[in-house]
Amino acid sequence: MPLLYLLFAALLSLLILLLLFLGRKKIVAFYHHCFEKQKSEESFQIVKENRVSNEESTLLRTYFKGLSYVIANETDKAVAEFVKVAHIDTTTAEIYLALGQLFRNTGEMERAIRVHRDILLRPNLPDDIRRQTFFEIGLDYKRAGLLDRACRTFEEILIRDPKNSAACNELSSLYEGLKEWEKALALHNSSPSTQNEINIIAHLTTEVAKAAESNGDREKALIFFKQALEVDDNCVDAWLHYGDFLKGEKQIPEALAAWERAFRLNPDFVSLITGRFSGLEKEKRAKTEEEFFSRHLEEYGGKRKFNLSYINWLIKSGRLTEAGTRLERVMTEKRGDAEVFSLVRNLLNKIRSSGDLNQDLYDSLVRIFFSTQLRFEKTYRCRKCGYQLDVMAWKCPRCATWDTIVVR
């Protein structure tokens, strides 16, 4: 029996050892498998991180390359680079905002509108990005000539954000371009950013009055002319057209007083006043012109524009010698004035057509003209952007700024 127990114990020990040996191999194999799996995952993560890093690096390089083209004003090349950026990073809305702006700048309006509209379809779009996108769409419509849609877009922006000065400025510009003067005026009166711009409000009120007068509503025109002057008593535009209105009402003394006020505010605009005298009856016109120049000659005779206007009246009045003497002096003071050219031409024609030809005066005018007037300049200039005009405008056609047009 003891021998049997010993044999059984030996077999049992051997079995246990065998099981331990086999179990150890499985455990080692299991741990080896786990180690290899972890190592593989770490390798994959490293590869993934390297790929992301490379993509970010490529994204940055492409982005800055596009910016460099923007700075260099090479818009077509900038578009190409930002398209690449958008393909690399399809999640960032700001990239698409910039891309839409570039499409607009290159005149690809359909693509600009489509890009900006697509941004609005994104879920969970931040409020600031949504507001900026709406604004960009408004600019897209404006650039594309879809002015009604542009107006509606900026109107909607202002309903949501009444203090948005950029949208207010754009909408105001659109209203003025469409000659929607009452809407432009209401916008300026209601917007906190423009309520203090009394000169612009006076111009817009004058435009409302002029439109009402053109449409035959003279009662409304009178109300708005008076409102314009109440807003800004120094608005030359308002005084000039209020005088025109009074002349239409046969209130000649009152009209002359309004034009006189406009002249006093800015004597350089003398031609705008004297030009209105031509609408008076012949006898009244002659008397008014003579009284006007006699009244102001001593005070303003040294001013170039007044002097030119006075010379023009002398020529029309037949006082050719005095006109020639003054014109010779004017030509030596400044070169290239188109108004001087017109006066010289008119005076020479008058001298030739007169019965008593003053040959010395004629020859002197021709000689001085060709020696001094080598180029012609336009009468008016914008002091902000330098744009030149032949006809007076109260708002610069180039930079769209009010009250920056001055006489050269």
Tens digit of pLDDT at every position of the chain (408 positions): 444 444 444 444 444 444 444 444 444 444 444 445 454 444 444 434 444 444 455 544 544 444 454 445 555 555 555 555 544 444 566 777 877 887 888 888 998 888 888 888 877 888 888 899 999 999 999 999 999 999 999 999 999 998 898 999 999 999 999 999 999 999 999 887 666 789 999 999 999 999 999 999 999 999 999 999 999 999 999 999 999 999 999 999 999 999 999 999 999 999 999 999 988 998 899 999 999 999 999 999 989 899 999 999 999 998 988 988 888 888 887 666 778 888 888 888 888 887 666 777 777 777 777 767 666 678 899 999 999 998 999 999 999 999 999 987
Q: What is the pLDDT of residue 264?
A: 96
* 359, 340 contact by CB (below 8 A): no
Report the amino acid identity of residue 282: K
pLDDT value at residue 7: 40
In angstroms, the CA 198 to CA 185 distance is 11
For every residue of 216-271, DSSP letters joined together read T-HHHHHHHHHHHHHH-TT-HHHHHHHHHHHHHTT-HHHHHHHHHHHHHH-GGGHH
Question: Which token pair is 283?
Answer: 């006898």
Going from the C-alpha of 165 to that of each of 37, 149, 162, 266, 275, the distances in angstroms are: 60, 19, 8, 32, 39
Helix (H) or strand (E) holding 63: helix 2-71
User: What is d(CA 199, CA 228) in angstroms, rounded to the nearest whole number?
Assistant: 9
**CATH 1.25.40.10 corresponds to the domain 197-273:** yes
Q: Looking at the domain 91-196, which fold is it?
A: 1.25.40
SS3 381: strand
- Position 107 scores a pLDDT of 87
